[in-house]
Structure 1
C-alpha cells in the first residue's frame, strides 16, 4: 500500500470522513469549486421552494446548516446534500390539503416532515439498513445517472426558451413545450445561448476555467446594466435575507398529526436512502473513493435535523448538485463548506444582486449539467461487454425519465436483485479433472471427466439456497447416470459455497440417499467452517460421517486411493 503524501494528514475521530485527509495543494481548487457551486446552487435551491411551496429564503436555508452538518458527519467525499426536486414534490403533495402554501403553518409542517425523516434515517443507522446501497449494481447506476441527466436536461428546455413550464415529469413538460411553443421569447433564448457559449467555450479552452461562474456573474451584471426584465426576460426578483431562527417546528404535537404524516415521511425516507446511496456509490466508483452507507445515514439524519430546526424543508443527496461540484473540480466536502460560507455571506449582505439573475441563465447551466450526467460512454461499454446488462441500464434510465427518480431507483434495486438471483439460480458449475501433467483443470459439467476412475469432483460455484438446489440435484443425477466407469465417490468441491439454507440441506440429504442407493459415497472438499456448521445442523454430517470432509485435494485423493485398495 502506498504511503500517504506528506501534504496529507489523517484524522483520528470518526467525523470529517468526507474532508480528511487534506491535500493542501488542492485547497484552491476546492474553494473555487465551492464558489462556482454557490453561484449555481443558490438560484436553484430558491427555485425548489416553488415546488415545495415554502418561502424563497428557505431554499438558502437548505444549504446553510444541513449541508454543513453532512459535510462534517457524513462519509462521502462527493455527495452534496440540499434541496431536491423529488422530496420537495412529495412534501408539497402531502401538505397541499393541510395548510395554505407558503404560510407559517405550512412551513412548520414541512419542517416537521424533515424532523420525522431525520428520526427514520438515524433509526435506520441503528438497525443497520445501510447495506441496502449494496443492491445497486454498477450497471443500474449508469442507467440511473443517465436517466437523471435526461430528466434534468429536458426539464430545463422550457426555461431556456422562455416558456412557462407546465406539468410534472419529462413527458408532461415536453408536451407543454409543444403546446406553448408560440410563447418562445427570443431575448430569453439569447440569454440562454450566451451562457451556453461562455460555459462551453471556457471548457474548451481549459477545464480549469470556471465557465459557469463567469457566465453567471457576467449575466447578472448585464441584466442589471441593460434591464433585461424590461425586454421580457424573467429574473428571480427580490430575495429576503437574514439568518434562520433556531426552533422546533411550531405545530400541534399530537398522535393524529404524526399518523397522518407518517406515510409521507416513510416515502421521503425511502427516496433519501435510495437516491443518496445511489449517488454516493456512483461518484465513489468514478473517483475510486470509499464511503460508508451507515455513516452517511447519520450525516443525512443530522442534515435533516438541521433543516427541521432552522425552519426549512427536507434535504436529500442530490445527483445534480453533486455533479455541479464534481464538474467544478471539487473532490471533497471542503467545496461544500466553502459554499456554506458563501451562502452565509449572501444571506447577510448580498441578496440584492440575485434579483437580476435571469431564470434562463440558470436553466442553461443546469441543462449542461444534465447533459454531462448522460453516460453514453458507460452505456456503450456495457453494450459491448455485457449485452443483457445493457438493457437493464436502459430500462432503469427509461423508468427515471418516464416515471420519476424515486421510482427509477426502486426499479434499479429490483433489477439488481433479480440479476443477482438469476446468477445464483444458474451458477456456472464445473467438473475438476486431472491434467496430463498431473495438475488440475476445469471442465464443463456436461463432460464425463473423472479425476480418477470412480471419483468425480464436482464444483458448485455459488451459495446453496432454495432457488438453485434443483440445479444441484439435476447435475448430480446427470453426472452419475453417464459416469463411465461407474462412480464410487462423488465429491462436492465447496470452496465457492459460503452459505446454505434449509432447502439446500434438505436437497443434500436427498442427494445422499440417491448416491447411497447406487453404492456411491458422498464427500466434500474445501468446506468453510460456517458452512460445515450448517451441514452439521441440517443433518448432512450425520449421514456422510465426519470423515467425509477434506481440507486439501491431496488428502481427498489419498483417502480415495486407500479406500480403492481396501477389500470390499
Structure 2
C-alpha cells in the first residue's frame, strides 16, 4: 500500500460546499451577526485568560478565516471560548503574572504548541479519541470551568477597590500563598474568599453597569433571540459611561487599544519553555478535540451533511498556528456561536469569512470607540455566555439515570475547583479511563436456557441460572482480554461447581468474543484444561472466522476439537442430545 493510500491531504474550502448564489444575502447577514457576537465575547475571553483584549479581536480575523478555509464542517465556528480561555489562563500562571509582557509571549508560544499537537492528532488520524471522554466526564469538567469563570466575572462586575487588610483578607492571602506553593494554582476557593472580601468595597456604578448588561442580554435573548444582544448591550453601556463620565467615578473601562490589522509576530520565549508548555497544550487540545468533534457530529446529523473529523483537527492546527504568528488568542470552538449561525440561516463557512472581514474593518476604523467600553459590562456579557457551561440539567439527569456516572461528573467538577483546570484535565482523562476499564471488566454474561416449546433460547443471569440438565450454554458478551479474563474464569468455575446435577457439556457462545489477547488465551487455556479434568466436553458456538483462526493460532482448537465448533446454539444442543441421548426441554 502506497503512502498516498494511507495519507490524504485536506481539501481547502470544503466548508463552502453547498453554497449557492441565492444564499449569498443570508450568508452575508449571518456573517455580520457573527462579527457582532465575536467582538464582545472575544474581548471578554481574552480577559478571562488574563491577556490584552486586542488578542481576542485578532483571533476573529486571520485565525477565523484560516479555520473556515481548511475545515470540512460547514457549520462549526472556530473561536476562542470560555473553557479554552480558562485553561489558557491557568497554564500561563506558571509562566508570567497578569500584566507582565512575557504573558503575551507565552500565550503565543502556547498557540504554536497547540497547533503542532493538532497536526500530530490529524496526521495519525486520532479524531476517534474524542469517544473516550464520557458524557459524565465532560459535564463535570465543563461545569467546573463554568463555575470558576462565572466567579471571576462576578468579581469584575463588583469593580471593588480593596481597602487594606481585614482579617478575612489576610486569611485569603495566606491561603492563596499556601495553595499556590503546594499545587501551583490560585485555587477556586481562594478566589471565592476574595470575592466575598470584595463585596464591602464594591463600586455601585460598576455593579449597576454589570448587572444591567447581564439583564439586558438575558431579556433580549428571550424576547428577540436573533438580535445581537451582546453588541447592543455594550454599545448602550459604553455610551452611558462616556456621557455620564462614570470612568471618573471608579468604573473601569477597556482603555485605548491599538488600531489596525495584526502583524506577523514570533514568540520570544526560550526553546526549553516550549516543552514546559506541552502538558498545558495537551489540555487545550484535548478539550477542543472532544467538544469540537462532538459538535461537528451533531451538526452533520442535523443537516444531513458529512464532515471529516480528522480534517477538522487539521483546521484547528492551522488556525492555532495562525494565532501564534499573528498575536491572537488560541482558537477553540463555540457551541453558542455555531447555534447562532444556524439560527441566522448560515449553511456554509462563508459567514465566518464575512465575519473575519467585518472584524478587520472594526480594527482599522473603530478601535477608538471601544476605549470607554466598561469591563463590568463585558463581564455581564461573558457571564451570560458562561451560564451555558454550567450543566445543572445534565447533572440532574445523570443523578436520576445512573448514580455512578453522576459521581464521576462530581469528582471532575470538584477537581476543577480544587486543583485548577490544568490538573483537572489529567484527572478527567484518568476518570474516563478508569470508568472505561470498570465497564470493560464486567461485561454482560448469561446462561441460555431453551424455551419450553424449543423455539428459542432465554437468557438468564448467571447468579440465578436454572439447574442444568447436563448442558450449560454460556454467553460472554465481550472480547476476552486482561481486564475481564478473571471474571470469565470465575464464572465458568462457579457454573460447573454449583450445578446440582453433573455437567456433561459446556457450550461457549462466542459471538461477541471477537478478540482474545494473550492474557485471555492463557485464561481460556487453563479453563479448558480444568473442564477436561472434570470430564466436561467443551463446544464453541457462533464463533466468527477471525475468532476461530485466532483460537487455531493459539493452539486452543486442539483442546476443544474442530468438530466441536457449531454455527448456532441450536446445532450445539442437537449434537449434545445425539451423543448423550438426553431429551429436550420439558
- TM interval, shorter chain, is 0.7 to 0.9
Distance in 1 of aligned mates of 2:149 and 2:33: 21
**CA distances 1:120-151 after superposition (whole Å, capped 9, x unpaired):** 32123223333332210112222222222212
**CA distances 1:374-404 after superposition (whole Å, capped 9, x unpaired):** 1222111111111111111122122223322
1:5 match: none
Distance in 1 of aligned mates of 2:351 and 2:47: 22
Inter-CA distance 525–450: structure 2 relative to 1 (3 Å threshold): farther
**SS of 1:81's equivalent?**
coil
1:175 match: 193
**CA distances 1:478-522 after superposition (whole Å, capped 9, x unpaired):** 111233442222111122223221111011111111111122121
Inter-CA distance 506–127: structure 2 relative to 1 (3 Å threshold): same
2:284 match: 272
Distance in 2 of aligned mates of 1:297 and 1:177: 38
1:120 match: 117
Inter-CA distance 151–530: structure 2 relative to 1 (3 Å threshold): farther
**SS of 1:241's equivalent?**
coil
- Tell me, yes or no, if the aligned pair for 1:161 and 1:189 is still in contact at 8 Å: yes
Q: How many residues align?
A: 538
Deviation at 1:410, TM superposition (A): 2.6
Indicate whether 1:294 and 2:313 are aligned: no
Deviation at 1:27, TM superposition (A): 4.0
Distance in 1 of aligned mates of 2:135 and 2:314: 24
TM-score by length of 2: 0.83
Aligned partner of 1:315 among 315, 330, 335: 330
Q: How does 1:414-493 map to 2 (within 5 A)?
A: 414-438=430-454, 439-449=456-466, 453-493=469-509
Aligned partner of 2:208 among 190, 214, 236: 190
Inter-CA distance 373–338: structure 2 relative to 1 (3 Å threshold): farther
Indicate whether 1:219 and 2:237 are aligned: yes
Q: Which region of structure 1 is more displaced relative to structure 2, 517-526 or 127-136? A: 127-136
Indicate whether 1:381 and 2:379 are aligned: no
**SS of 1:524's equivalent?**
strand
Q: Which region of structure 1 is more displaced relative to structure 2, 234-243 or 289-298? A: 289-298
Q: How does 1:60-459 map to 2 (within 5 A)?
A: 60-75=57-72, 77-78=75-76, 80-82=78-80, 84-86=84-86, 88-89=88-89, 92-93=92-93, 95-96=95-96, 101-102=100-101, 110-163=107-160, 168-246=186-264, 249=266, 257-264=270-277, 266-281=278-293, 283-284=295-296, 288=301, 292-310=308-326, 312=327, 315-317=330-332, 321-323=334-336, 325-326=338-339, 329=343, 333=349, 336-438=352-454, 439-449=456-466, 453-459=469-475
Distance in 1 of aligned mates of 2:161 and 2:509: 66
- Tell me, yes or no, if the aligned pair for 1:424 and 1:467 is still in contact at 8 Å: yes
1:498 match: 514
Distance in 1 of aligned mates of 2:481 and 2:223: 57
Runs of 5+ unmatched residues, structure 2: 1-8, 163-172, 177-185
**CA distances 1:322-371 after superposition (whole Å, capped 9, x unpaired):** 43553674777555444322221111111111111110101011112222
Deviation at 1:434, TM superposition (A): 0.9
Distance in 2 of aligned mates of 1:519 and 1:113: 65
TM-score by length of 1: 0.85
Deviation at 1:295, TM superposition (A): 2.4
Distance in 2 of aligned mates of 1:418 and 1:394: 15
Inter-CA distance 36–528: structure 2 relative to 1 (3 Å threshold): farther
Distance in 2 of aligned mates of 1:46 and 1:147: 19
Distance in 1 of aligned mates of 2:413 and 2:293: 17
Indicate whether 1:59 and 2:56 are aligned: yes
- Tell me, yes or no, if the aligned pair for 1:143 and 1:393 is still in contact at 8 Å: yes
Deviation at 1:56, TM superposition (A): 4.8
Inter-CA distance 406–532: structure 2 relative to 1 (3 Å threshold): farther
Runs of 5+ unmatched residues, structure 1: 1-11
Inter-CA distance 34–301: structure 2 relative to 1 (3 Å threshold): same
Q: Which region of structure 1 is more displaced relative to structure 2, 460-469 or 330-339? A: 330-339
Inter-CA distance 113–197: structure 2 relative to 1 (3 Å threshold): closer
Inter-CA distance 152–220: structure 2 relative to 1 (3 Å threshold): same
Inter-CA distance 224–78: structure 2 relative to 1 (3 Å threshold): same
1:3 match: none
Q: Which region of structure 1 is more displaced relative to structure 2, 187-196 or 399-408? A: 399-408
**SS of 2:61's equivalent?**
helix
2:541 match: 525
Deviation at 1:19, TM superposition (A): 5.7
Distance in 2 of aligned mates of 1:87 and 1:406: 6
**CA distances 1:140-169 after superposition (whole Å, capped 9, x unpaired):** 222222222212211100111112699744
Distance in 2 of aligned mates of 1:16 and 1:449: 62
2:40 match: 40
- Tell me, yes or no, if the aligned pair for 2:10 and 2:314 is still in contact at 8 Å: no
Distance in 2 of aligned mates of 1:470 and 1:19: 53
Deviation at 1:456, TM superposition (A): 1.3
- Tell me, yes or no, if the aligned pair for 1:275 and 1:406 is still in contact at 8 Å: no
Deviation at 1:223, TM superposition (A): 2.6
Distance in 2 of aligned mates of 1:250 and 1:379: 41
**SS of 1:269's equivalent?**
helix
Inter-CA distance 208–186: structure 2 relative to 1 (3 Å threshold): same
**CA distances 1:46-104 after superposition (whole Å, capped 9, x unpaired):** 5257x24xx5533322222222222332345435333743454366446549xx9327x
Inter-CA distance 499–173: structure 2 relative to 1 (3 Å threshold): same
Distance in 2 of aligned mates of 1:207 and 1:313: 29
**SS of 1:446's equivalent?**
helix
**SS of 2:79's equivalent?**
strand
